[in-house]
Structure 1
Amino acid sequence: MKKFGLIGFPLTHSFSKKYFTDKFEREGKSECQYELYEIPNIQAFPAVLVKEPTLIGLNVTIPYKEQVIPFLDRLSPACKAIGAVNCIKISAEELVGFNTDYFGFKTSLVNWLGPNRPAALILGTGGASKAVAQALKDLNIPFMKVSRDTQQGSNNMLSYKKLRESPELMKEFPLLINTTPLGTFPKTEEMADIPLASINQNHWVYDLVYNPTTTVFMREAEKRGAKTKNGLEMLHLQAEAAWEIWNE
């Protein structure tokens, strides 16, 4: 049996098990199995590997995309530049970290924007935001990150407080990207605390959340004329990229 899986906490929102189980059935891969490994802290990660010696690959989700790095033997060059891991290739010799969020986000964003390259606000500063930031850099899209804590030594950082106090800044950043888990099932009415009244038909709102398919953030943006997109296409793209890595 070839085993694959996902580590994170919590995993009630995960799409990965259904996606890969359906893929294995559809493609006749009866020798493959995908499981969820919900671990309460990253220190429990080595025990998963011991318990599951036939694991070939893992996906990594919140909150371990950065915390898992010290447990790996090396990172792919692109992953090292991003500083976050969402895919691990497992062999007898080593554990190698990759970031397929980057590929999934960048590809889906280009598909959606076409030739447009509007300046962006990245809501959140976690592991997913790092992949998003690298993709925007490589697409020559200027951006700033929005965080509750701006004491992170970055000059391209805004606080939510500053954004609320200066809502005119929203005009300078037509592309709004939510990389936080806010709005994810079951807490579907949560969203980042930004000045909604400043969103208009010139804005593009990309919410990496995919469950529900229309988040409260997307719904509020649509009311004000903005174009919206959820994270489902990105998820499909990153999952297939992980599958290729595991089977190289």
Structure 2
Amino acid sequence: MLKFGLIGKKLGHSFSKKYFSEKFEREGIQDAQYELYELPEAQELKSLLKSEPELVGLNVTVPFKQDVIPLLDELEGTAAKIGAVNTIRINGGKTKGFNTDYIGFKSTLEEFYPPSERKQALVLGTGGAAKAVWAALDALQVPYKSVSRNPNQAKEELTYGQLTPTLFQAYNLIINTTPLGMYPHTDSLPDLPYNSLTGQHYLYDLVYNPEQTLFLKEGALAGAQICNGLDMLYRQADAAWAIWNS
């Protein structure tokens, strides 16, 4: 039996087990199973690999996408450049980290945010998921600013207090990479001047559970285009499956 799974701190929001279990059933894959592994800290990865020797592939979610890097034997080039890992291949006891968030986000953004509409983006959050988003925006040549509660002045990151109505006119793509609004804390949302949103804005939330966060609901009320992270999840999962089987 080949084992795959997801590691993270809290996994009650995750659709990954459902997605892979349905995939195995649909495709007649009988010698594989996918499990959720809640770990108190990333360092527990070593213990998990010892206790589960049948593991051949793992997905990584918040808050471990950067913390797992020093624990791995090898990093694929794109993951090394991004500085975050969301997929681990385990082969002969050796671990190699990859980033399929980049693949999933870039392909869905290209479809959601038409070239003719592209201006500048605001990226809410600066964690591991944000790093994949930054790389995709760079690849698509979309200028962006990151927004953080604790901004890095050297990187010219913005605070939420700096997000004015005037700024919103120049940045028509807003991407939430934070867990705000994610189940079970569905009553939270990023602190933005939502009354400055227009029908020309595009709001992308990496959160997919619930399907429509308060952040996206505010966008919809303003007539903005909205997109959640479900397609991104499916595409990064398919890319991970290809890596585990390569």
Quickly name the TM-score band, shorter chain normalised. Answer: over 0.9
Give the 3 Å change call, closer, same or farther, for CA 60–152 of structure 1 in structure 2: farther
Q: How does 1:29-48 map to 2 (within 5 A)?
A: 29-48=29-48
Q: How does 1:137-176 map to 2 (within 5 A)?
A: 137-151=138-152, 153-155=154-156, 157-163=157-163, 166-176=164-174
Where 1:7 maps in the other structure, the secondary structure is strand
**1:192 counterpart (187, 190, 193):** 190
Partner of 1:100: 100
Where 1:132 maps in the other structure, the secondary structure is helix
Partner of 2:222: 224
Mapped pair 1:129 → 2:127: no
Partner of 1:215: 213
Distance across 1 between alignment mates of 2:48 and 2:93: 17
Q: Is the 8 A contact 2:123 2:144 kept in 1?
A: yes
Q: CA deviation at 1:114?
A: 3.0
Q: How does 1:11-26 map to 2 (within 5 A)?
A: 11-26=11-26
CA RMSD of aligned residues (A): 1.0
Q: CA deviation at 1:69?
A: 0.4
How many percent identity over aligned positions? Answer: 53
TM-score normalized by the length of structure 1 = 0.97
Distance across 2 between alignment mates of 1:197 and 1:5: 41
Q: CA deviation at 1:167?
A: 2.8
**1:203 counterpart (183, 193, 201):** 201
Q: CA deviation at 1:152?
A: 5.6
Give the 3 Å change call, closer, same or farther, for CA 46–123 of structure 1 in structure 2: same
Partner of 1:74: 74
Where 1:168 maps in the other structure, the secondary structure is helix
Q: Which amino acid aligns with 2:131?
A: K
Distance across 2 between alignment mates of 1:220 and 1:114: 21
Distance across 1 between alignment mates of 2:25 and 2:3: 14
